[in-house]
Amino acid sequence: MGNLQLIRALLIVVGLATTMAMEPTKYLTKYGYLDDGMMSKASDMTPTEMDDMVRDAVMLFQEMAHLPMTGRLDEMTMQQMSMPRCGVADLGEFRLTGRKWDKTHLTYRLINTSPQLDRAEVEDAIYRAFRIWEQVTPLRFSRTSGTSDIEISFVQFSHGDGNPFDGRGGTLAHAYFPGTGIGGDAHFDESEQWTVRTARGTNLFIVAAHEFGHSLGLEHSQVLGALMYPFYQGYVEDFQLDYDDILGIQTIYGSNPNPGNGNPNPDPPTTPPSGGEPTPPTGGGNPNPPTGGRPDICNTDIDAISRIRGETWVFKGKYFWRVRDQVSGPWLTSSFWRGLPEHLDRIDGIYERPDYKILIFKGRRYWVFDANILESGPHYISDLGLPSHLDAVMPWRSNGRTYFFKGNQYWRYNEAEGRVDSGYPRALSIWRGIPTDSIDAAVQHDDGYAYFFKGQDFYKMAERTITVLRGYPKRAAQDYFGCRPDSFSSGPGFAPMFAGSVQPAGLLYHAEGHCEWEQHICDLLIRMEGGETDPLAP
């Protein structure tokens, strides 16, 4: 492939010794970051083209590993490459291979077991690993001693599949996607120190559950904490699938038709069944839990509102709505923006910066997201020169500044210089016609009009005059969100109205069918709005 040229490119990009360059090259190739087809053409590339190819490969790996995307093999990157992991190549958020089993009852067979463990311990760990996928799908697994769909073995180094193991550490196991022959099979590196029900060594249950995700058709996830993340993340005593795992597997096979009402991952019997159809699971794990306790947009005030990627997003408590050609939701904020505190009770503000990063504020801290993936944080709001426990945040179109509101004051933030402008804070009364003591939320639409929310009312303000229009405040439920009058009650009813004399302000500037998010997020939002998924957690 022109190894000398590739090594040279690595040396130029990362500045490492030649003895270290070979291992990163092999690693990036093995896990799919350097393409075999491109590498075969290395002799035809210019030095600049080779440099760019290697730099891009390193950055892709850093993105997957949630490291600073420097394009250089710095100490953190090299350390990450040495971490124990799955032997299947990486591809990004949960991805589907396009391959699936055409049946829901699958069999598996243990070709052998690890001599480090009692056979019963291995059988139990394997049984529990299949069990977690049973909880959230129609799939059922049973062990057999004859011909099976998924064959499981413990092997070392070269073992006949052209994908040798590397001894202790590094690659822990690998599995093959659904199909005939070797399809679905899972191999575990016997060189590892396999353990069960403990954080010592390498936990067989955790690794097996991950590999069986591949056996069922899932590729790797970019979500930290997801089972299908490629790096071994250690033993978890009361393990439960991440929402990303559930979404991925249910996209292939659908949800469990009999989820039950108990613990989504109950402990199975210590002696797994040796054949026959397993007992239906008693757990849940369905990402469509009961809707009780969720707010009704027609009967509530709001905590925050923002225009993000050409759409309006509304927040109340721990939930949010998406306002597009319809009002959809509510869903858990922490389930969409992964990396926020799991038990987040509300947010104070949210906005999209000019560089398209999304900042979310709560209490004394804020987080920075790239789309819905955490980039950094939490940080202290005081580092920005702003007060904690904000009331509202609003970018202003005409001057490119961002306005922060708290109590009877507001601050103007210069994004280009990364600081609060001199002379601030100033009195809220400068914004003529809105309440002078405080506001709950604020947003500016694409036509320049600004909307301020207080209680269940809102105020519409002209950009040029900084003055509220006549006839305001108005009821947000009817005149902003488009609720029918008969939905203004204490009940859970929601009736969006998209025709007639009242048109929801939040829907005026949307190009129907257009999505400005990354494609995987657009697909997720479509599924959410179609009712197929709901990122609510218990």
Known active-site residue 237: no
Q: Is 35 labelled as part of a ligand binding site?
A: no
Q: Is 183 labelled as part of a ligand binding site?
A: yes
Cβ pair 198, 192 in contact under 8 A: no
Q: Is 513 labelled as part of a ligand binding site?
A: no
Q: Is 174 labelled as part of a ligand binding site?
A: yes
Query: Among all chains, which residue has been given the structure tokens 């120190």?
Result: 193
- Which member of 93, 151, 211, 352 is catalytic? 211
Between CA 248 and CA 281 the distance in angstroms is 20
Task: Assign residue 135 a region (left: φ > 0; alpha: ψ between -120 and 50; beta: otherwise).
Answer: alpha
Q: Is 102 labelled as part of a ligand binding site?
A: no
Sign of the four-CA dihedral 273, 279, 285, 286: positive
The per-residue b/e assignment along 157-176, b for 16 or more CB within 10 angstroms, e otherwise, is eeeeeeeebeeebbbbbbbb
Q: Is 440 labelled as part of a ligand binding site?
A: yes
Q: Is 185 labelled as part of a ligand binding site?
A: yes
Cβ pair 413, 419 in contact under 8 A: yes
Looking at the chain, how many residues does it have?
Answer: 538
Reduce the DSSP state of residue 520 to 3 states and report it: helix
Q: Is 220 labelled as part of a ligand binding site?
A: yes
The per-residue b/e assignment along 402-411, b for 16 or more CB within 10 angstroms, e otherwise, is bbbbbebbbb
Q: Is 510 labelled as part of a ligand binding site?
A: no
**What value does the CA radius of gyration of the chain take, rounded to a whole number of Å?**
27
Q: Is 515 labelled as part of a ligand binding site?
A: no
* Range 366-370 contact pairs with CB under 8 angstroms and sequence separation of 24 or more: 367/337, 367/339, 367/340, 369/337, 369/339
Contacts of 169 (CB under 8 A, 6+ apart): 82, 84, 192
Q: Is 267 labelled as part of a ligand binding site?
A: no
Token output for 468: 């509220």
CA 229, 235, 236, 239: dihedral to nearest 10 degrees? 60
Token output for 27: 């690693």
Q: Is 161 labelled as part of a ligand binding site?
A: yes
Q: Is 447 labelled as part of a ligand binding site?
A: no
Q: Is 192 labelled as part of a ligand binding site?
A: yes
CA 85, 88, 91, 96: dihedral to nearest 10 degrees? -120
DSSP state of 90: P
Reduce the DSSP state of residue 143 to 3 states and report it: strand
Contacts of 431 (CB under 8 A, 6+ apart): 410, 452, 461, 466
Q: Is 74 labelled as part of a ligand binding site?
A: no
Reduce the DSSP state of residue 438 to 3 states and report it: coil
Q: Is 36 labelled as part of a ligand binding site?
A: no
Q: Is 301 labelled as part of a ligand binding site?
A: no
Token output for 147: 């011909």
Reduce the DSSP state of residue 327 to 3 states and report it: strand
Q: Is 228 labelled as part of a ligand binding site?
A: yes
Bridge partners of 109, per DSSP, are 151
Q: Is 303 labelled as part of a ligand binding site?
A: yes
**Strand 311-316 with 194-195, pairing:** unpaired
List residues forming the annotated binding site: 86, 149, 159, 161, 166-167, 174, 183, 185, 187, 189, 192, 210, 214, 220, 228, 303, 305, 348, 440
Catalytic residue annotation:
211
**Annotation: binding site for Zn(2+):** 86, 159, 161, 174, 187, 210, 214, 220, 228
Q: Which residues fall in the annotated binding site for Ca(2+)?
A: 149, 166-167, 183, 185, 189, 192, 303, 305, 348, 440
